[in-house]
Amino acid sequence: MRLLNLIYEDSYFLAVDKPSGILSVPGKGEDKKDCMLIRIQEEFPNALLVHRLDMDTSGIMLFARSPEVQRELSMQFERRSIKKTYIAWIEGRLGLDEGEVDLPLRKDMSQALPPCHVVDLEQGKPAQTKWRVSERKDERTRVILHPLTGRSHQLRVHMQSLGHPIVGDPIYGVPDKRLMLHAHGLNLDHPVHGDRIELESVSPF
């Protein structure tokens, strides 16, 4: 039994704090079996995946405790009624205090490993991210990120597009001890009761 950091638990769903460096679901190969889904199913056998975080990203993940709740929470993500907040440190000092990136993204099929995404104004899928500076320190900036869409690597590519990649990004920036990106908050409707719930995970940086 491995220790889980539960943020929220009731009869319908769970919110868990995922560490950086752990997969959301199993990957290919024996060395990629360990993941959040298997870890949580060791304690909650009926837990079902609702969404994923990149392996290098830490923070809140949701797991449903029935197929019905899984569908409802998944639909909230699709309808974009779940409000997501991330915290990140980025390279360099942003001049403005807030802004929005509106750049469509697509997967770069010319590069198999590691999988990456690029801005494509013609064939990319719509992607929008709002950002706000919370701190400037030396040659780095701490930002609060609100993705309005949910594309793969969206925050990482959008920050790179500003000329300020996320600190420690091994694909879009310079590798470091860890990717400084944390899923800090989720604001959602309870899948059964309908009450609005605000979940938060304290950023480790």
Q: Which residues are catalytic?
A: 54
107/152 Cα distance (integer angstroms): 8
d(CA 114, CA 95): 31
Bond before 114 cis per omega within 30 degrees: yes
Specify whether the CB–CB gap between 149 and 122 falls below 8 A: no
Taking residue 132's Cβ as centre, other Cβ atoms within 10 Å add up to 14
CB neighbours of residue 148 within 10 Å: 16
Helix (H, G, I), strand (E, B) or coil at 172: coil
Instruction: Give the integer Cα–Cα distance in Å for 55 and 52.
Output: 9
